[in-house]
A and B are shown apart, each in its own frame.
Chain A
Amino acid sequence: MANDTQILEPVKEKEPLFGKAEKKLLTDPLNDNNPITVQVLGVCSALAVTTLVYPSVVMAIAVTFVTAFSNLFTSLLRNTIPKSVRMIVQLVIIATLVTIVEQILKAYNFPIYKQLSVFIGLIITNCIVMGRLEAFAMANKPWRSFLDGIGNGLGYGAILIIIAFIRELLGKGSLFAGSPIELKIIGAADTYLINTKANPWFGWYMNNNLMVLSVAAMFILGIIIWIQRARNPKLVDIS
Chain B
Amino acid sequence: MHSTSYIIRFVLIMTTLAALILASMNTFLAEKHTQNEKIYNKRAILAAVGQHLDGGKSPEDLTDQEVETIFSSNIKSYVLDMKGNIVEGRDAESVDMAKERKKPEPERLLPLYVFTNGQGASYYILSIRGNGLWDEIWGAVSLEEDLRTVAGASFDHKGETPGLGAEIKDNPGFPSQFIGKTIYNEAGEYTSVVVRKGGAVDKTHEVDGISGATVTSDGVTEMLQRGLRYYEPYLNTLKTKS
- Listed in ascending order, the chain A residues whose CB lies under 8 Å from chain B are 51, 80-85, 88-89, 92-93, 95-96, 99-100, 103-104, 106-108, 110-111, 114, 171, 209, 211-214
Any A CB within 8 A of the CB of B114: no
A114/B33 in contact, CB under 8 A: no
Q: Determine the main DSSP class of A at the interface with B.
A: helix
A107/B163 in contact, CB under 8 A: no
Q: List 25 A-B contacts (CB under 8 A).
A: A80-B10, A82-B2, A82-B7, A83-B2, A85-B7, A89-B14, A92-B14, A92-B15, A92-B18, A93-B18, A95-B18, A96-B18, A96-B22, A99-B25, A100-B22, A104-B29, A106-B36, A107-B36, A110-B37, A111-B40, A209-B163, A211-B163, A212-B162, A213-B161, A213-B162
Distance (whole angstroms) from the CB of B175 to the closest CB of chain A: 15
Which residue in A51, A89, A107, A211 is a CB contact (below 8 Å) of B29? A107
Any A CB within 8 A of the CB of B26: yes
Q: State the CA gap A81–B14 with chains docked (Å).
A: 10
Q: Which residues does chain B contribute within 8 Å of A212, judged by CB atoms?
A: 162-164
Q: Which residues does chain B contribute within 8 Å of A106, judged by CB atoms?
A: 29, 33, 36
Which residue in B22, B36, B163 is a CB contact (below 8 Å) of A99? B22
Q: State the CA gap A95–B15 with chains docked (Å).
A: 11
Interface string of B53-87 (1 = CB under 8 A from A): 00000000000000000000000000000000000
Any A CB within 8 A of the CB of B215: no
Q: State the CA gap A172–B40 with chains docked (Å).
A: 24
Using a Cβ–Cβ cut-off of 8 Å, how many residues does chain B contribute to the interface with A? Answer: 25
A51/B163 in contact, CB under 8 A: yes
Q: Which of B3-55 contact A (CB under 8 A)?
A: 6-7, 10-11, 14-15, 18, 21-22, 25-26, 29, 32-33, 36-37, 39-40
Q: State the CA gap A209–B29 with chains docked (Å).
A: 39
Any A CB within 8 A of the CB of B199: no
New contact pairs (7) apart from A51-B163, A106-B33, CB-CB < 8 Å:
A82-B2, A83-B2, A92-B18, A96-B21, A103-B29, A107-B32, A110-B36
Which residue in B1, B22, B26, B39 is a CB contact (below 8 Å) of A110? B39
- Look across to chain A and name the residue whose beta carbon is closest to the beta carbon of B40: A110
Q: State the CA gap A171–B167 with chains docked (Å).
A: 12
- Look across to chain B and name the residue whose beta carbon is closest to the beta carbon of A93: B18
Please provide the 7 A-B residue pairs with the shortest distance between their CB atoms, ordered closest to farther.
A212-B163, A110-B36, A82-B2, A107-B32, A96-B18, A82-B7, A107-B29
A85/B10 in contact, CB under 8 A: yes
Q: Which residues does chain B contribute within 8 Å of A209, judged by CB atoms?
A: 163-164, 212
Distance (whole angstroms) from the CB of A55 to the closest CB of chain B: 11
A88/B11 in contact, CB under 8 A: yes
Q: State the CA gap A51–B39 with chains docked (Å).
A: 25
Q: Which residues does chain A contribute within 8 Å of B164, judged by CB atoms?
A: 209, 212-213
Q: State the CA gap A99–B19 with chains docked (Å).
A: 11
Distance (whole angstroms) from the CB of A94 to the closest CB of chain B: 10
Distance (whole angstroms) from the CB of B134 to the closest CB of chain A: 13
Q: State the CA gap A232–B25 with chains docked (Å).
A: 46
B40/A114 in contact, CB under 8 A: yes
Q: Which residues does chain B contribute within 8 Å of A95, judged by CB atoms?
A: 18
Which residue in B6, B39, B163 is a CB contact (below 8 Å) of A171? B163
Q: Which residues does chain B contribute within 8 Å of A92, judged by CB atoms?
A: 14-15, 18
With A100-B25, A213-B161: A82-B37 Cβ-Cβ less than 8 Å? no
Q: Which residues does chain A contribute within 8 Å of B37, judged by CB atoms?
A: 110
Q: Which residues does chain A contribute within 8 Å of B14, judged by CB atoms?
A: 89, 92
Q: State the CA gap A214–B162 with chains docked (Å).
A: 8
- Look across to chain B and name the residue whose beta carbon is closest to the beta carbon of A96: B18
Distance (whole angstroms) from the CB of A131 to the closest CB of chain B: 21
Q: State the CA gap A28–B92 with chains docked (Å).
A: 56
